[in-house]
Structure 1
Amino acid sequence: MFTAGRSCIHTYYDRYKANDYFRVRYFGTGIYNDIRRRLLKYYVSDIKDGLTYRTIPSTIYIFFTNLLPAIAFAQDMFDHTNNSYGVNEVLLASAMGGIVFGVLSGSPLCIVGVTGPVSIFNYTVYEIIEPMNIPYFQFMCWICLWSMGFHFILAFTNSVNFMRFVTKFSCDVFGFFINIVYIQKGIQILTHQFELADPASAFASIVVALVMTIFGVSSQFFGSKSHYLPPRIRTFIRDYSVPLCVVFFTGFIHFGGYLDDIKFTTLPITKSFHPTDTVNRRPDWFIRFWEDIRVRDVFLAVPFAILLTALFYYDHNISSLICQSSKFPLKKPSSFHYDFFLLGVTTGVAGLIGIPAPNGLIPQAPLHTHSLCVYEHDYETGLNKITRVVEQRLSNTFQGLLTLVMMTRPFLVVLGLIPQAILAGLFWIMAITTLDDTDVVRRLRFLFLDKEWKLKLSKIIIPADYPIEYYLVRSKYFIIYLILELLAFAGEYSITCTKGAIGFPGVLMLILLLVPIVFPRIFPKDQLDLLDSEAADELIMRSLKLSSFNFD
């Protein structure tokens, strides 16, 4: 049976020699080639290509979609860690991620910042060690320092090459999971209003969030999928609808009338460029990791660091894969080993200055690539087609700089005026506009599609909403695959709702490892080829293969 299983796995990845996945021939080859082939060769063009109008709306859009959700996660950590983290820590982490990866990374399309899983990790660590009287910031610093070392080992041994194992199944399930978490987060923010304010204010917050969501989602739909008004006007609406929704509904609560009697809960702010916790740490940001920490606690941080490294290995690389997926016509090579090394550096620095460690963001990373797409309207099919992507590093860098500017007092005060209901609305806009494009939702829609309409669509050469593979695969295997996607999502989601949330990276890695082993035993090869495939396209595959095995 073992031999048969290996044979199935080999045929599942028949485009490559199986033993290539397990060879580490040259130490540091991946980093060397990523720098030589991607960073040095295209750095100048990354700047020149960014000197275009498309960069402006992309910068503004991703700034809002990165900033406000991060602040919401800051509120989570603030509440669960006895005020250890706040707005300033999250702003500094997001700014560092944007600037460092915008300026220095090999994949500048990948947005790096504070994620929901990281916030869960941080406050779960606090809940575990607080009864043990271990100083939190020193312990988190050691976790980040150990993790930095593990990042370096994985990067220099070319271990990121194992991302060639990742199929679209893992990416689609994780993307679906993140969007559901965003919807859940919006609901949590609004339910929390009943504890922070009176019922009238809480219900008013729900109404504002819902109306904002309706306008935001409708504007994105109008700009991307409608046929009304000229393409330039639709493009403008698509580019600026989300930022304008945030600005408009922030001012909406001050319009007067019945709203004068409502007190909306706003974002909490602190002193500019100062840590939130002034009791357990010094105001100079540097964590004295050698103070008040026992040797055994230093080594106790190792298993936590392994979990953090596993989370970043999965989360960051999946984010990078999704924002460089085959649906985007990208021309420049990718960079994984060097970027993971760079992520290790930012993780270590984050620990030393006592801020959450940033990593790749979903859905912000693919939304960033979407915002850089140049569309052309095909009047024969009535569809908007992506003709090219503005591949550059300026939008990521500028949004990081704008986030850093938000730490100054005037802009912190502005942040303090934003109602928490606006955060809920933004979470829902981001989730809903992205959720409908996930494979899980599309398969669910296709499953319940009217049979007669499905038969009619199958006769169309280019189906408008569904890949041609959906029509070719047998219904039995289509349903089994969809059930497995939902079960994988349930596993990821359920553990985050328990005290064992810190084991979340283990669930991700388990799914990643089981897919190439289990799927060939369940699905015939011809059906599996229709259902699932490598997440990395040919361009990324060539980069991973080249970066691991030779210098040519």
Structure 2
Amino acid sequence: MFCASFAPAITFGGLLGKYTNEKIGILETLMAQCICGVLWGIFAVQPLMIMSATGPVLVFEVSLYAFCTNLNIDFLTVRLYAGLWVLVISIITVAVDGSRMLRYVTRFTEDIFASLISVIFIAESLRFLYQTFIHNPVANFEFYRHIRQKCELNAFNGERNDSQMLSICNGEPNTALLTTFIMISTFALAYGLRLLRQSYYLGRTLRRALGDFGVLIAIAVVASVVHLLVPDPYLQRLEVPDHFSFTNIEARQHGLFVSAYLPLNQLWVIIVAIVAALLVFILLFVETEITELLLSRKDRCLVKGSGLHWDLLLMGACTLLCSIFGLPWMCAAAVQSLAHCSSLSVPKKTAPGERRGVDYVLEQRVTTIGVSLLMGLFAFGGSYLRLPLASLFGVFLYLGVMNLTGVQFIQRIILFFIPGKYFPDTPYTESVDIRRMHLYTAIQIICLIIIYAVKYFKRTALAFPFILMLFILLRQFFLKKIFTEKELKALDGDDETNNENGWLEKDFFEDAPLPV
């Protein structure tokens, strides 16, 4: 479980540092996961849930940073007040039994949400690669010598280099190709090990272990090869201090605790924080409660019940605590939580050919607390955590692709290009007319384009959780007037496909409707 949790933590932490100008980075992410994980393991009703940095919250934090930068207000101070309001909203939600609102979040919204996060992950990975080629063109020695001489001559004469010249004055001839190799190798190795998990090669236990630890194995192998064989070319790496400290104290501009001080002419920041809290609470609420429900399914065979209200309240308290210390917000990670539950599940003894099932689950709090403490221990890693950014973007690309696994929306898009006689036997192909099915898919495509456009522009990026909430209303009120109840049940219901190997063999990315 540590390996399954550590790889996303360093990936999201490293990228958060890149996009927030190192106000929050990898060390803060590891400490946040340590603190929140220990508190969750001790006080949560459902301790099998893993608290972690997740893609949706990462996307929101980056959008909030860009929003605060445009308004020239302090990012961490806004997060402090937002964390306070998240706790207040959590208390109000629990008081009015707000968890029952979760029944309105259906596959229609979940698929759009997962697709949005995947598109963002893939687009940002390709954007990083494109910028690397712009700043480090693939050219011969004469090209770089000419550029360096011209840059030095302009600097000596007091002339300013144009923007295109300035971008490559410090370029390196081998950086772009090496970055491409690292990124693609990390993605290919992690993806190949995930495919191995669902194959018939090797023993069941070994292939499951390789698949579950695939991301960490890919990062370690690629980083080791680069360090041993090609150490010379310049590579962008994670900014990590040599000793235990904040990622960048100067960029942070706060001490151990984030200052709540606001000048009189910036008291309106509290209003901004309320809006930010409402938006991030939508993400935290959906991810935490849906993960709780996934673990409470009958086929998981958990004896202890779930605590939708208490755990939501605890999530709000953890959010405030992270805001006080200037740490990234944590929430329940669906994929890691399902993997945690599976690792503690003891299968029934069955005869050959019978469907595998779960006999019982070793429900306890030790593993959650232990994994969290190990996260905190690795925050002392110092220079050993200075991984190439290309490797992390390779993981980013991998998560973007894997988040689409099992997304029915993507499967129906593929059906646009397949003749009807070759359609798979699924409820939405057997119970719904082809044109009606394509209409439903087209509506989802339009929704995805709209929410991605909102996220793309910096001035509106912060509002993407609100747009997601509008899609819930669209599903509940508008689609019911277009499609019959039978059609919606087939298109928007849960899959009931047979799994002859039992759910233990099912890929956790496919089993979890939420993105990593």
TM-score by length of 2: 0.77
Query: Aligned pair in 2 of structure 1 residues 170, 200: CA closer, same or farther (>3 Å)?
Result: same
What is the rounded CA distance, in whole Å, between the counterparts of 2:454 and 2:195 in structure 1?
33
Quick check: 2:299–2:358 contact (8 Å CA) kept in 1? no
Q: Does 1:71 align with 2:14?
A: yes
Quick check: 2:53–2:328 contact (8 Å CA) kept in 1? yes
What is the rounded CA distance, in whole Å, between the counterparts of 1:154 and 1:485 in structure 2?
29
What is the rounded CA distance, in whole Å, between the counterparts of 1:189 and 1:325 in structure 2?
40
**Equivalent residue, structure 2, for 1:514:** 474
Secondary structure at 1:435 match in 2: coil
Q: Does 1:235 align with 2:204?
A: no
1:310 corresponds to which letter in structure 2? I
Query: Aligned pair in 2 of structure 1 residues 243, 522: CA closer, same or farther (>3 Å)?
Result: same
Quick check: 2:185–2:222 contact (8 Å CA) kept in 1? no
**Equivalent residue, structure 2, for 1:288:** 259
What is the rounded CA distance, in whole Å, between the counterparts of 1:173 and 1:372 in structure 2?
31
What is the rounded CA distance, in whole Å, between the counterparts of 2:102 and 2:130 in structure 1?
39
What is the rounded CA distance, in whole Å, between the counterparts of 2:400 and 2:297 in structure 1?
19
Query: Aligned pair in 2 of structure 1 residues 65, 451: CA closer, same or farther (>3 Å)?
Result: same
Residue in structure 2 matching 1:303, options 254, 262, 275:
275
How far residue 184 of structure 1 moved from its aligned partner, in angstroms, is 2.5
What is the rounded CA distance, in whole Å, between the counterparts of 2:71 and 2:205 in structure 1?
60
Which structure 2 residues correspond to residues 324-343 of structure 1 after superposition, within 5 A? 332-343=304-315
Residue in structure 2 matching 1:487, options 412, 429, 446:
446
For residues 59-78 of structure 1, what are the alpha-carbon distances to aligned partners after superposition, in whole Å with 9 as ceiling and x for unaligned?
32222233323322232122
**Equivalent residue, structure 2, for 1:433:** 402
Secondary structure at 1:152 match in 2: helix
Quick check: 1:76–1:119 contact (8 Å CA) kept in 2? no
What is the rounded CA distance, in whole Å, between the counterparts of 1:371 and 1:508 in structure 2?
33
Structure 1 segments unaligned to the other structure (5+ residues): 1-57, 459-466, 536-552
**Equivalent residue, structure 2, for 1:160:** 99
Which structure 2 residues correspond to residues 313-392 of structure 1 after superposition, within 5 A? 313-321=285-293, 332-361=304-333, 364-365=336-337, 387=358, 390=361, 392=363
Question: RMSD of the TM alignment (CA)?
Answer: 3.3
1:233 corresponds to which letter in structure 2? L
How far residue 299 of structure 1 moved from its aligned partner, in angstroms, is 4.2
Q: Does 1:184 align with 2:123?
A: yes
Quick check: 2:291–2:332 contact (8 Å CA) kept in 1? yes
What is the rounded CA distance, in whole Å, between the counterparts of 2:418 and 2:359 in structure 1?
32
Residue in structure 2 matching 1:84, options 23, 29, 32:
23
What is the rounded CA distance, in whole Å, between the counterparts of 1:304 and 1:227 in structure 2?
47
2:404 corresponds to which letter in structure 1? L
For residues 454-507 of structure 1, what are the alpha-carbon distances to aligned partners after superposition, in whole Å with 9 as ceiling and x for unaligned?
4xx64xxxxxxxx44433332122212222222232233221111211111211
How far residue 123 of structure 1 moved from its aligned partner, in angstroms, is 4.5
**Equivalent residue, structure 1, for 2:493:** 533
Q: Report the more deviating stretch, 147-156 or 483-492.
A: 483-492
What is the rounded CA distance, in whole Å, between the counterparts of 2:129 and 2:196 in structure 1?
27
**Equivalent residue, structure 1, for 2:45:** 106
Quick check: 1:93–1:357 contact (8 Å CA) kept in 2? yes
For residues 379-423 of structure 1, what are the alpha-carbon distances to aligned partners after superposition, in whole Å with 9 as ceiling and x for unaligned?
759xx9664785644444333222211221xx122111x211211
Secondary structure at 1:254 match in 2: helix
**Equivalent residue, structure 1, for 2:369:** 397
Quick check: 1:141–1:352 contact (8 Å CA) kept in 2? yes
Quick check: 1:164–1:534 contact (8 Å CA) kept in 2? no
**Equivalent residue, structure 2, for 1:216:** 190
Query: Aligned pair in 2 of structure 1 residues 446, 136: CA closer, same or farther (>3 Å)?
Result: closer
Query: Aligned pair in 2 of structure 1 residues 221, 131: CA closer, same or farther (>3 Å)?
Result: closer
How far residue 216 of structure 1 moved from its aligned partner, in angstroms, is 1.9
What is the rounded CA distance, in whole Å, between the counterparts of 1:326 and 1:189 in structure 2?
43
For residues 16-56 of structure 1, what are the alpha-carbon distances to aligned partners after superposition, in whole Å with 9 as ceiling and x for unaligned?
xxxxxxxxxxxxxxxxxxxxxxxxxxxxxxxxxxxxxxxxx
What is the rounded CA distance, in whole Å, between the counterparts of 1:240 and 1:233 in structure 2?
11
Secondary structure at 2:327 match in 1: coil
Identity of aligned residues (%): 21
What is the rounded CA distance, in whole Å, between the counterparts of 1:489 and 1:59 in structure 2?
34
2:383 corresponds to which letter in structure 1? V
Q: Report the more deviating stretch, 205-214 or 232-241.
A: 232-241
For residues 165-200 of structure 1, what are the alpha-carbon distances to aligned partners after superposition, in whole Å with 9 as ceiling and x for unaligned?
221222222122222322223323433434485252
Secondary structure at 2:45 match in 1: coil
Query: Aligned pair in 2 of structure 1 residues 111, 98: CA closer, same or farther (>3 Å)?
Result: same
Which structure 2 residues correspond to residues 78-157 of structure 1 after superposition, within 5 A? 78=21, 83-130=22-69, 134-157=73-96
1:301 corresponds to which letter in structure 2? A
How far residue 129 of structure 1 moved from its aligned partner, in angstroms, is 4.4
2:479 corresponds to which letter in structure 1? F
What is the rounded CA distance, in whole Å, between the counterparts of 1:65 and 1:131 in structure 2?
29
What is the rounded CA distance, in whole Å, between the counterparts of 2:397 and 2:477 in structure 1?
36
How far residue 261 of structure 1 moved from its aligned partner, in angstroms, is 4.4
**Equivalent residue, structure 2, for 1:278:** 249
Aligned length: 456
Structure 2 segments unaligned to the other structure (5+ residues): 137-170, 496-516
TM-score by length of 1: 0.73
Quick check: 1:77–1:119 contact (8 Å CA) kept in 2? no
Q: Report the more deviating stretch, 109-118 or 265-274.
A: 109-118
How far residue 138 of structure 1 moved from its aligned partner, in angstroms, is 2.8
